[in-house]
Structure 1
Amino acid sequence: MPIYTRESLQTDRLPWVEIEDFEFIHLGRVMVMNNHSVQPDASGHVAYWGYYQDSPLASSMRIEPKHDKDRITVVSGQVQVESEHGRVTLHKRDYYDIPASGATITNSGQSMAELVRVMGHWDHTIRNEICMFRPGNPCDYHYHDGDEYWVIFRGHFTLDYNGMKIPVGPGELMAAGKGIPHGTLDTEEVMNGIVMAMPLEDRKRDGHLNHKNQGEPTIGRDVPQQVWDDLAARSTGATVIPE
């Protein structure tokens, strides 16, 4: 179905979906290391605050792309990327396409760095952004003249996907093909995701299009009836299912 986990992308991805994989990366900050070992008590707790210093997150990593496109987006912190193109520093909202020869990413900030890595075979994007919706400020119900993807990395909410109300949360990808209406109900908590918008087609109208102002959408991607049925089975509310 057009709502995927990382695992289901490998088995159920529709032919028009250009994202093939994604992951969340956490890079720790460089710290002075203690030289003693940690001995948890019977409860599993450790008795001092410096546990992180004994088992820190790695502060750098190497990426060797295995897909046509391999993109990282910083969602918190600061990182330095070194590749054949030179050395660049990325902050929140910045993104970088890893060249085929690979790149080394290092946390260069004062706190943990969080990144979202997206892999696939898209041509190019017209937008790569971090979205945020919160209680009282949901995403309007809309459609696009091109494909759009959300990679959710924080928060639970109810997605309105072509009239179906579907609970989603961190670690899921929404693929909204050209003309497929989508939005959110009022969110239960703050949610964040990476939004990737693909090139516009046909009338090439940018931005959020809606039924009232731009008319009924024409869905431009093939979604088999079985997929709509699977989405309906997951839905918690009223459904509008194409026949």
Structure 2
Amino acid sequence: MSVFRSGEQPPKWCTLRAFELVELSGLPRPVPITAEKQRLLVTRGACRLTSGKGAQVLSGGQFWDLDEANGPFMVDAGDGAAQILILYGRWGNELGGCGLFRLTPDTPLEEEGDPVSYPKSTKFDSHYHDCDEYWVILEGAGTVVVGSRSFEVKVGDCIAIGMGHHHDLPQIWANVKGAYFETTLEGKKRFGHLWKHTHGPADVRPERI
């Protein structure tokens, strides 16, 4: 697990190379293409994305992949306000999920997730993926566990999780809202939350610092 913030250099193994949270209000804002792969995710409100091919309104949790062939791109929130997350990197074409998640303190669900030895006060399940995953904390704070490591996270943190590493968000100090992005599927290329007790042992890929 590695934690970095916008403007900081992620570890070399990460296919997500940068991210930016942008508040939208007033005049349209250009979105230049500056990376091999680029994705825009709406994290609050709704926005209009205009390109050389037309326009599309996107609501919270919806995303759009940006490329030079369909640009140039402009984004605006109309008469309202919105927030977007722009992800920059070099991921592949077969991807896992992407969207928003919310978490409140609650009683853990014993029937979901792999067993853990640490205390839990959320319904989040310990699981792994056949891909790397990135979380960006938008609201709240808590403790993230990846394998045997743990780290306290807050708004603006991006948590990079390598393929096959079990991860969890077992404790929160304030209600959490986050964005997640599961990048290139590898190995068996299964999607969704995977559990050892159901799907078998994880294919753990080393995180290269």
- TM-score interval, normalised by the smaller of the two chains: 0.7 to 0.9
1:171-190 aligned within 5 A: 171-190=156-175
Contact 1:131 1:194 in 2 (8 A): yes
- Per-residue Cα deviation, 1:38-89 (whole angstroms, up to 9, x for no partner): xxxxxxxxxxxxxxxxxxxx44211111111222111222211111121111
Number of the residue aligned with 1:194 = 179
Structure with the higher fraction of residues in helix conformation: 1
Structure 2 partner of 1:78: 46
User: Corresponding residue for 1:3?
Assistant: 3
Cα displacement (A) at 1:16: 2.5
Within 5 A, what are the aligned runs for 1:103-142?
103-108=73-78, 110-124=79-93, 125-136=95-106, 137-142=122-127
Higher RCO, Cα 8 Å, sep 6+:
2
Is 2:132 the partner of 1:147?
yes
CA distance in 1, matches of 2:42, 2:141: 21
Distance 1:26 1:222 in 2: 32
Percent of aligned pairs with the same amino acid? 24
**Which residue pairs with 1:95 in the alignment?**
63
List alignment gaps of at least 5 residues for structure 2.
107-121
What is the Cα deviation at residue 215 of structure 1? 4.1
* Partner residue, 2:116: none
Amino acid in the other structure paired with 2:155: P
The alignment's TM-score, normalised by the length of structure 1, stands at 0.72
In structure 2, the partner of 1:157 is 142
- 1:99 deviates by 2.5
Matches within 5 A, 1:200-239: 200-224=185-209
Bigger Cα Rg: 1
Which runs of 4 or more aligned residues in structure 1 lie more than 4 Å from their structure 2 counterparts after TM superposition? none
8 Å contact from structure 2 (residues 99, 179) kept in 1: yes
Equivalent residues of 1:69, 1:121 under 8 A apart? yes
Residues 205/25 of structure 1: CA separation in 2 closer, same or farther (3 Å cut): same
Contact 2:18 2:87 in 1 (8 A): yes
* Paired residues of 1:151 and 1:193 also in contact (CA < 8 A): yes
Computed over aligned residues only, the root mean square deviation of the Cα atoms, in angstroms, reads 1.9
